[in-house]
Amino acid sequence: MEGVKEEVEQVSLPRIGSTAPDFSANTTQGEIRLSDYKGKWVVMFSHPADFTPVCTTEFVAFQEIFSELEDLNTELIGLSVDSISSHLAWIRNIEKNFNTSIEFPVIADLDRNVSTKYGMIMPEESSTETTRAVFVIDPEQTVKSIIYYPLTTGRNMQEILRLVKALQKTEEEKVPTPANWQPGENVLVPPPKTQQEAEERSQDDSLECIDWYLCKKKAE
């Protein structure tokens, strides 16, 4: 509306490539600091509220990928603005109903310290709940990927696993990965920067080239 300025709180939110803001927080496994996780990959995710249907299915599904993430040197951290008692009661309820023991810490962000720093509350959707955000953070604590889903859509754990594997492959071999890439499949060759590079790759029999700018190669 003309003449009316919406007041928007100016918070500098993490972006891909920026340093993940450090925090200390109370969790179901005691106090944690993000900086304690240096040297490991972290998947930190928020959910809207304890004891809700989509979130419950997600918690069971996150636990199902917990060990595989651990094998990838990756720690899971959950978060909502619910209290520790609520988290504990919900976790016990999940154990009873699904025979699933939640092994990752869940932040009780009652003062919204972490969710505000990470832009997890989207007031246009809900001012009282965190949306379904996922932050993938690398061992140097750089934000590598951010995913947002609305309150009503449960996340796909296989995609989160695939994303971590793809990010790690890129970090290890400095190569991009194509659409739907899975471990073991060919990776992409970064686009050529010079005419000479473009010419050279068209002569390179070890590459599988569709065109001068689109070549695949075996992963190491």
Contact footprint for ligand BEZ (CB under 6 A): 48-49, 52-55, 129, 151-152
19 versus 57: smaller Cβ distance to ligand BEZ: 57
Query: What minimum distance in Å lies between the beta carbon of 89 and ligand BEZ?
Result: 16
- Mapped onto helix, strand or coil, the DSSP state of residue 138 is coil
Report DSSP letters for 158-205, one per residue: HHHHHHHHHHHHHHHH-----TT--TTS-EEPPPPSSHHHHHHHHH-T
What is the H or E stretch that residue 134 is in?
Answer: strand 132-137
Query: What minimum distance in Å lies between the beta carbon of 90 and ligand BEZ?
Result: 11
48 versus 105: smaller Cβ distance to ligand BEZ: 48
Give the dihedral of Cα atoms 82, 95, 55, 20; nearest 10 deg: 60
Cα separation of 200 and 203, whole Å? 5
Query: What minimum distance in Å lies between the beta carbon of 47 and ligand BEZ?
Result: 7
Angle at 164 between CA 160 and CA 168, to 5 degrees: 170
Query: What minimum distance in Å lies between the beta carbon of 117 and ligand BEZ?
Result: 22
What is the H or E stretch that residue 113 is in?
Answer: helix 113-117
Cα separation of 214 and 178, whole Å? 10
The residues with which 135 forms a beta bridge, in sequence order, are 44, 146
| C-beta separation of 38 from 140 below 8 A | yes
36 versus 64: smaller Cβ distance to ligand BEZ: 64
> Does residue 55 have an active-site annotation?
yes
Task: Write down the catalytic residue from 20, 42, 55, 65.
Answer: 55
106 versus 166: smaller Cβ distance to ligand BEZ: 106
Query: What minimum distance in Å lies between the beta carbon of 129 and ligand BEZ?
Result: 6
Measured in Å, how far apart are the chain's first and last C-alpha atoms? Answer: 56
60 versus 175: smaller Cβ distance to ligand BEZ: 60
User: Which positions are catalytic?
Assistant: 55
